[in-house]
Amino acid sequence: MAHLTLSHTLILPPPAQVHMARITLGRKRPKRLHDHDFYELVWVQNGVARHHLANGSEDLSEGDLLFVHPGHAHALQARADETMVVSVAFHPDVIDGMAAAHPRLGGHLFWSGAGQPVRASRDIRQLADLNHAALRLERATRDRTEAEAFLLPLCATLLDQVSDLPPDAPGWLIAACAAAQDPAVFRDGAAGFARVAGRAHPHVSRTMRRYLGQTPSDYVNTQRMAYAARRLTGTSDTLAEIAADCGIPNLSHFHKLFRAAHGQTPAQYRQARQRDMVQPD
């Protein structure tokens, strides 16, 4: 399929550094792919979209995101009625400047160096937060400050969720790892992870060992203990309440997992960090 190249001088005329558009897709298959010399973040607002690439296609559902690098040839097509996507274009100077200022971004998302757009996913709550940020961006000045204010929180959240995943990990695994940050998911343990992955448990286990070197239970317990640590530091909730919210009502088992993850008992962890914040030495 032939493709068209778009220039940032048309989408982002000076002094604009960012541009946002909401697009209702048609069901007709695109005649050609397109690429561009700017960076583009795209997400499915509602419906289902077919994402065409030079080497095939994939379906995107509500909450799926694409980080499109200059030179990535692609096109979008509706697969359901009233399919809408949101597209945010960024001037190359914005993305290059963020890479220089934030080395942690290297190798991920816009900065992955992958041969095709990097895909991520947002759940319903996260998508609502993204849309709220987009509404603010839509009303703001289209300068570099506003572009970074919109993009950095999203990138930081995604890096926290998938920083251990290699760029060639399957999209369903990336989406499941992101979803596993939610207590409603990790509370159900490995079964909850397999549920949001939408795959049979044995297949999920094999794939996680390949890409992460750990089992679904190991991954879920890591998320549980990270959540528990935040609750211990930021709330006065009892250990029993926190353990139950993690899906581990057995306090002895909760203590064992927490000590293995953080090197301290939950009580020691809470006491040290609350004291350090309020009465630093």
Residue partners of 24: CB distance under 8 A and separation at least 6? 78, 82, 83, 84
Work out the pLDDT band at 161, boundaries 50, 70, 90: low
Retrieve residue 239's tokens.
């250990």
Per-domain residue ranges of the chain: 3-162, 175-278
Other C-beta atoms lying within 10 Å of the C-beta of residue 96: 14
Cα 30 to Cα 66: distance, rounded to the nearest angstrom:
18
The CA radius of gyration of the chain, in Å to the nearest whole number, is 21
Q: Please tell me the predicted confidence (pLDDT) of residue 279.
A: 47
How do residues 176-213 score in pLDDT, each as one tens digit? 887 787 788 899 999 999 998 889 999 999 999 999 89
Percentage of residues of the chain with pLDDT beyond 90 = 61
* pLDDT recorded at residue 90: 97
CATH code for the structural domain at 175-278: 1.10.10.60
Closest CA to 104 of 112, 114, 115, 116: 112
**Residue whose C-alpha is closest to residue 54's, from 132, 116, 130:** 116
**pLDDT tens-digit readout, 68-104:** 999 999 999 999 999 999 999 999 999 999 999 999 8
Cis peptide before 15 (omega within 30 of 0): yes
Does the reported pTM lie above 0.85?
no
* pLDDT above 80 for 22: yes
Query: For the structural domain made of 3-162, what CATH number should be given?
Result: 2.60.120.810
- H or E stretch including 94? helix 92-101
